[in-house]
Amino acid sequence: MQTLPSHGEPITDSEPHYDKAKEAKEFDESKAGVKGLVDSGVAKVPRLFIHPPENLRDLSPDTDGAATGLEVPIIDMMGYWDSRRRDVVNDLCRASEMWGFFQIINHGVPVHAMDGMLEAVKQFHEQPEGMKREWYSRDDAKKFRSCSNGDLFRSKAATWKDTIWFDFSRGVLDPEAVPLLCREPVFEYERHIEKLKISLSELLSESLGLDSDYLGDIGCMKSKRMAAHYYPICPEPELTIGTINHSDASFLTLLLQNHHGGLQVRHQNRWIDVSPVPGAILANIGNFMQLVSNDKFKSVEHRVLARQAGPRVSVACFLFPGEMQKSKPYGPIKELLDENNPPMYREISFTDYFGYYLSSGNGLNGESVLPHFRVSESK
Ligand code: OGA
Ligand code: NI
């Protein structure tokens, strides 16, 4: 930080010895996460979490959205299996094209399964440090693990949240791999999410003008990974952020949130608050769906503010191609192309695409990886 005193000479940094790598290492080795910091009584956001101004652009709540009445669409799935199918398909189509983000109600996932999941995640993160540190790991091969700031050593600044990961991608997740506290709730929630995924796969296929089995047959939503986030109350929310602006690498993401809010979606160059709707599940189009839909469906930026209200708890379920499909090439769906709609992207396997996503910094800071796969940019 630089300030100019009255005699005109700059005073440089108030913390000249700040060593980000060292701070990050110490934070990680504590295995206590952001919740640990809060429990230890920090009244100020530590330097490691202070973001440069460009990450904090217009952090204030969405006065714009409120004024313009813009709101993420709410889609009622009631009756989608018969009388209202056409309406639901049309609503999904419009929301996926215009917002890339929507809240779904009457989706069939029981309230007790959603509440049970959110409560288990909250309880896990709120355990005494000693109870959860054995799960803390950066080893992506683990089926269950807890970790704060997956990109801690690469990002400019850390974010104000802790995360637990459930990996359902390679066959069934062994219940023994999951702490007892979360076991029943996560498996119950997953069962219902699987059913919802199948329904949405059919409905979204129809929204693209394809046979209802189309997306199911190409296997692009076969795998699931869940990231269950805990955003502790933040003493200085204007200095940091919960989740930096990004778009998801997934095909589709299904997101459950508690009632504390903080999520914002980028729409028409504004940040729009996503107000929690009781019983709703959010869905957002991922980058990979934008690619196979040849830009018909949009993957949009979103972020989570750090706040003094909370804690916010959310569960993001990322859907992406299964083990068997990961290495096969995906490209814009042929049925969507004609002379007026040429392919915008080259074919790419999910493995190669995701490898690029990780190597380019997780698409954070709103830098979508999609342009890299555009036809005009390929050799
Ligand atoms: C994500 C994400 C939002 C939230 O995990 O990709 O955008 O509400 N999460 O935690
Ligand atoms: Ni996201």
Structure confidence by residue, pLDDT tens digits, 121-150: 999 999 999 999 999 999 999 999 999 999
- Residue 340 is assigned to a structural domain of this protein: no
Structure confidence by residue, pLDDT tens digits, 299-333: 999 999 999 999 999 999 999 999 899 999 999 99
Which domain CATH number covers 136? 2.60.120.330
Closest ligand 1 atom, CA of 231? 10
Closest ligand 1 atom, CA of 316? 5
Best mutation site among 148, 224, 226, 263 for ligand 1 pocket (most ligand atoms within 8 Å of CB): 263
Indicate the number of domains in the chain.
1
Mean pLDDT of 229-242: 97
Query: Which pLDDT band, with edges at 50, 70 and 90, does 62 fall under?
Result: low
Model pLDDT, residue 69: 83
- Residue 35 is assigned to a structural domain of this protein: yes
Query: Which pLDDT band, with edges at 50, 70 and 90, does 1 fall under?
Result: very low
| Residue located nearest, by CA, to atom 2 of ligand 1 | 316
Do 319 and 197 meet the contact criterion of CB atoms below 8 Å apart?
Answer: yes
- Residue 377 is assigned to a structural domain of this protein: no
| pLDDT over 90 percentage in the chain | 83
Model pLDDT, residue 365: 59
Q: Does residue 250 line the site of ligand 1, with CB under 6 A?
A: no
Model pLDDT, residue 138: 96
- Residue 337 is assigned to a structural domain of this protein: no
The yes-or-no verdict on residue 253 having pLDDT over 70 is: yes
- Which amino acid appears at position 22 of this protein? K
- Residue 363 is assigned to a structural domain of this protein: no
The yes-or-no verdict on residue 216 having pLDDT over 60 is: yes
Domain that holds residue 291: 21-327
And the tokens for 228?
């269950």
- Residue 8 is assigned to a structural domain of this protein: no
Closest ligand 1 atom, CA of 242? 10
Q: Does residue 314 line the site of ligand 1, with CB under 6 A?
A: yes
Ligand 1 centroid vs 243 CA: distance in angstroms?
7
Query: Which pLDDT band, with edges at 50, 70 and 90, does 68 fall under?
Result: confident
- Residue 368 is assigned to a structural domain of this protein: no
The yes-or-no verdict on residue 3 having pLDDT over 50 is: no
- Residue 266 is assigned to a structural domain of this protein: yes
Q: pTM of the prediction?
A: 0.93
Q: Does residue 227 line the site of ligand 1, with CB under 6 A?
A: yes
